[in-house]
Amino acid sequence: MATLIQSYEQQYSVLTADITAKIGRLKVANEEDRDRLSREIQSNFDEANDLLEQLELEYRGSGAGSRVAAYRAELQRVKEEYRSVSSNTATYNIDPEEYDDWSGNDQRRKLLDNTERMERSGRNLTEGYRVVLETEQIGAAVLQDLHAQREGIQRSRGRLRETDATLNRSSRLAGSLAVRAMRDRLVLALVLLALGALLCTALYLYVT
């Protein structure tokens, strides 16, 4: 996701620099070249708008802070510059040699500004990519820890089932022992009663 955003931003920066350069050439171009450059600039504006729409969608999907508003403001400034050049017919009468003296510097300055913006964007994207990697590593560690905890819970559950089974067997054994003890007591009581009866009979016979 971050790589795609970076690609769109780089394409946008290159495209706006190209538009700025064409606007500069438009100031000294002849009628035929002006028509061609105007068509190309309009096409570039459409392409830039499409890039910004794609970039905005990518930002929404990533959840990161969006710089699309700043890019749109910059594009609007370039559009206003283009409209100003297009409507100012006197600009087309500039001497090419004179234009070379200041327009080239102006273009280089704008290209340098765009390059600086690209570098800042690249640094921001690099930092964002580093944060994403750190977040991914933390997420992997958390998932590994959760997996280990799940295995521990499953082992504990297995031991609880074994303990429950052992308790059930012990309960059944205790019940069986209790029944056997009661049976033994009953037999002992019967034996004692029988002995008592025999003793009484023997005493009776002895007395009589």
* Predicted local distance difference test score (pLDDT) of residue 105: 56
Percent of the chain clearing pLDDT 70 (strictly above): 78
Task: Give me the chain's average pLDDT, please.
Answer: 79
- Residue range 91-128, pLDDT digits in tens: 444 444 444 444 455 666 766 666 676 667 667 667 76
- Residue range 136-184, pLDDT digits in tens: 778 777 788 788 888 888 888 888 888 888 888 888 888 888 888 888 8
Q: What is the mean pLDDT of residues 20-24?
A: 88
User: What is the residue type of 129?
Assistant: Y
* Predicted local distance difference test score (pLDDT) of residue 89: 40
* Predicted local distance difference test score (pLDDT) of residue 99: 40
> pTM of the predicted model, to two decimals?
0.42
63 φψ region: left (φ > 0), alpha (ψ -120 to 50), beta (else) = left
| Under 8 Å between Cβ of 111 and 17 | yes
Buried b (16+ CB within 10 A) or exposed e, 118-135: beebeeebeebeeeeeee
For 119, the enclosing helix (H) or strand (E) is helix 96-207
Q: Where are the domains of the chain?
A: 2-135
How many angstroms from the chain centroid is the CA of residue 44? 33
Match 């700025």 to its residue by tokens. 20
Q: Where are the beta strands (DSSP E) in the chain?
A: none
